Amino acid sequence: MLINLNGKLVNKEDAKISVFDHGLLYGDGVFEGIRIYGGNIFKLKEHIERLYDSAKFINLSIPLTKEKMIEEVVKTVAANNLKDGYIRLVVTRGEGDLGLDPKKCKIATYFIIADKIVLYPEEFYKNGLSITTVATRRNVNEALEPRVKSLNYLNNILAKIEANNAGSLEAIIINQQGYVSEATGDNIFIIKDNSLITPSLFCGVLNGITRATVIDIGKKLKMDVKETVMTRYDLYTADECFLTGTAAEVIPVIKIDGREINGGVPGKMTKTIMREFKKLTKKIGIKVKYKK
């Protein structure tokens, strides 16, 4: 496996950054997870736009243009001859000292990994997930803007630990006002009376690329799409439920906190949305040219 480290392709064993890098010391950095389907890097431009927006918000200067970063991502995928898989693109504040001051970091570090990923076993895409809400609350927006995809994921990790302790693969995080925000790494949708409903961005959710794709699919299917506040009552009484994310794709949810959704089986509209999403994965994005 070849890793792109600051523009140079190096073997996995040689892909090393300094222990003084502030991405490691303080979680000071941003990242994107991106999918490859049949040699098509799905919505790569949208991911790069979000990466640079996240970096701008935390006042992190990425040392190359968006166009050049796209080239580096494509180069990494081609070098690994990866047709289907997952890309992790990370930009850290770079090497500094043991203090917090980001001004001590002279230049950002970036690296790109292209590999396989399995977030959930295949059986759960067929049969659905059982998930649980947890006590860990979403960080308030004023403390950590949820639209920034930062390296600081401790809030999500603590929620994941709670879910694991409860025997569940995934958690639903509630915000400080008592509204549903998202899962530990995914956005959440419910279907109720032909309405496709997902929490608004101000509820403390990441503006997911897959989330936006599913919203577009819902509109094309003539569903009443709503971005609004959602409580656990809405989850428990939903006709159908599913999660979305780059790594997770679209996965059905059939039980929440012991309450069955749609009789404990994936719903009809959820399956339709899953099929429509799959159709788009090889159509929208940037094609990779591989060496023969």
For residue range 166-185, what is the model confidence (pLDDT) as tens digits? 999 999 999 999 999 999 99
Helix/strand/coil (H/E/C) assignment for every residue in the chain? CEEEECCEEEEHHHCCCCCCEHHHHHCCEEEEEEEEECCEEECHHHHHHHHHHHHHHCCCCCCCCHHHHHHHHHHHHHHCCCCCEEEEEEEECCECCCCCCHHHCCCCEEEEEEECCCCCCHHHHHHCEEEEEEEEECCCCCCCCCCCCECCCHHHHHHHHHHHHCCCCCEEEECCCCCEEEECCCEEEEEECCEEEEECHHHCCCCCHHHHHHHHHHHHCCCEEEEECCCHHHHHCCCEEEEEECCCEEEEEEEECCEECHHHCCCHHHHHHHHHHHHHCCCCEEECCCCC
* Chain segment 184-206, per-residue pLDDT in tens: 999 999 999 999 999 999 999 99
271 annotated active-site: no
**Shared fold status for 2-115 and 122-280:** no
Segments of the chain scoring below 50 in pLDDT: none
Contact 179, 138 (CB under 8 A): no
CATH number for the domain whose boundaries are 2-115 = 3.30.470.10
What is the sign of the dihedral through the CA atoms of 120, 125, 129 and 133? positive
Residue tagged active-site, from 106, 116, 149, 226: 149
Q: What is the pLDDT of residue 282?
A: 86
Looking at domain 122-280, its CATH architecture is Alpha-Beta Barrel (3.20)
User: Are 282 and 40 within 8 A, CB to CB?
Assistant: yes
Question: What's residue 119's pLDDT?
Answer: 84
Return the domain boundaries, the chain: 2-115, 122-280
* pTM for this predicted structure: 0.94
10-51 tens-digit pLDDT = 999 999 999 999 999 999 999 999 999 999 999 999 999 999
